[in-house]
C-alpha cells in the first residue's frame, strides 16, 4: 500500500445502509469505519444521513504512471460514476438529500486547490459525520496540509448514533 486515501460515504435516500455497503465493497477498503447516523448539515429539512469513512489504496484502484493528482482525479471520476449508478441525480439541491454521496477527503502528500478536486476536502474539519468515523479508523490523523483532525472544530452534521459495521 502506498497511497492510503480517505473517502467519505453518505446516504439519506433509499436503502442507505445497503448503498453504503455496496460502495465500500466496490472500493476494496483497507479500513472501514462503523456506520453512523447523523443530522443533516447546512440544509436541515431532510432525512437523517448514514455515514462512514473508508481508507482505500489509490495504487490498487488507480494504478499506473500518472501523477498522484491525476490518479486522485481518476478516483474522483470513479466515485462520481458510482453515485450516478446508484441513482444520484445531478440536479439535486446543494447539500440536499441524496442516495449516495462519495467524497475524497484526503490524499497523503497531495494538496490541491483545483476547482474539480480540492484537497484536503475543504469542509472536512467542520463536519462531525466525517470527523467521527475518520478518527475511528485513523486516530490522531494529520491532513496532507498539516492540520490535525479533531472533534473540536465540528459545527455541522452532528452524529446521533453509531449503528455498527459497514
Structural domain boundaries of the chain?
Answer: 4-165
- The CATH architecture that domain 4-165 belongs to is 2-Layer Sandwich (3.30)
| pLDDT of the residue at 92 | 65
Cα distances (angstroms) measured from residue 144 to each of 70, 104, 107, 135: 16, 13, 7, 15
Spatial distance between the Cα atoms of 138 and 129, rounded to a whole number of angstroms:
15
Contact 22, 28 (CB under 8 A): no
Cell of 93: 439541491
Q: Write out pLDDT tens, residues 36-61.
A: 999 998 878 889 999 999 999 998 88
Q: Write out pLDDT tens, residues 73-92.
A: 999 999 999 999 998 766 56
Q: What percent of the chain is helix, strand and coil (3-state, nearest 5)?
A: 30, 30, 40
Amino acid at each position: 500500500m502506498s497511497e492510503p486515501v480517505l473517502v467519505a460515504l453518505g446516504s439519506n435516500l433509499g436503502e442507505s445502509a445497503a448503498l453504503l455497503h455496496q460502495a465500500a465493497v466496490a472500493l476494496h477498503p483497507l479500513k472501514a469505519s462503523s456506520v453512523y447516523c447523523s443530522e443533516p448539515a447546512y440544509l436541515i429539512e431532510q432525512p437523517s444521513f448514514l455515514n462512514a469513512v473508508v481508507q482505500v489504496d489509490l495504487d490498487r484502484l488507480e494504478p499506473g504512471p500518472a501523477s498522484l493528482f491525476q490518479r486522485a482525479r481518476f478516483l474522483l471520476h470513479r466515485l462520481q460514476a458510482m453515485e450516478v449508478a446508484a441513482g444520484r441525480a445531478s440536479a439535486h439541491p446543494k447539500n440536499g438529500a441524496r442516495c449516495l454521496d462519495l467524497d475524497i477527503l484526503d490524499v497523503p502528500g497531495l494538496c490541491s486547490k483545483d476547482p474539480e478536486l480540492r484537497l484536503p476536502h475543504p469542509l472536512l474539519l467542520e463536519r462531525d459525520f466525517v470527523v467521527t468515523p475518520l478518527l475511528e479508523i485513523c486516530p490522531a490523523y494529520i491532513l496532507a496540509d498539516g492540520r490535525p483532525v479533531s472533534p473540536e472544530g465540528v459545527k455541522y452534521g452532528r452524529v446521533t448514533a453509531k449503528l455498527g459495521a459497514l
